[in-house]
Copies of this chain bind each other. A is one copy, B any other.
Amino acid sequence: MARTAGSDGEKTDAALRDAALSLIARYGYEAVSMRRLAEEVGVQAAALYRYYATKEDLLYSLLTEHMQKLVAAWEAERPRNAEPPEQLAAFVEHHIGFHVARRHSTHVSNMELRSLAPEKLTQILKMRNAYEKELRQILRTGADAGLFIVEDAGLTAMAIIQMLTGVIVWFRPDERLSVEEVTSNYLNMTMRLVGAERGSEAAALRRAG
């Protein structure tokens, strides 16, 4: 995508992307026109096309950035040379924390794959698959070491990811539980789901480390 250089252009682009995530999460991609987006950001519709040639380019850019940031966050947070339970604990904490902080972006990424043309969809699905493979690898390594019970790494990875991402549907930070309490609870459930005995201990080790 082309972006106008310089500070004002970057600010407009950031405002445009924020507005797009918010409006698409609320109304759906199909219902949000470039004109409506321009009104929301306070610029002429023609100006938007300096940033994105088409509305689908904008959507693709938003979904790509979501996946790139997700992968980068995991790369930064993943423990090195750690046993599978500690790696799985880190994955749970990373995955919940990342998505809870980006509710609109997560919602759009989960809902609007339907709105991408096939070749762009393929690119996003490749990125998703690479990310999910990280979890599958942890599960397989843990199962091979006799630490986890995993009948099917693909299904188990999908079950865990959907359970964890689902937190954004109901979680609100100012309600009954803090994100730390929710994460701790989901960590225990995840550890039991994969048959790990020592979920809490792995997490405690990680927090102490």
Contacts and interface: CB of A to CB of B under 8 A. Distances in A.
Interface residues of A, number: 32
Contact of A166 (B27, B30, B151, B159): B159
Given A155-B182, A163-B159, A163-B166, A149 B28 contact: no
A30 to B, nearest CB: 4
Interface stretch (A46-54, A77-85, A186-194): A186-194
Contacts of A159: 163, 166, 186, 189
Interface in A19-62: 26-31
Counted per complex, copies of this chain come to: 2
Interface in A113-136: 114
Given A151-B185, A162-B169, A166-B158, A114 B192 contact: no
B163 A114 contact: no
A114 B22 CA distance: 13
Contacts of A158: 166, 169-170
26 contacts: A26-B114, A27-B28, A28-B28, A28-B31, A30-B31, A111-B111, A149-B192, A151-B185, A151-B188, A155-B182, A155-B189, A156-B189, A159-B163, A159-B166, A160-B163, A162-B162, A162-B163, A162-B165, A162-B166, A162-B169, A163-B163, A166-B166, A192-B193, A192-B194, A192-B195, A193-B193
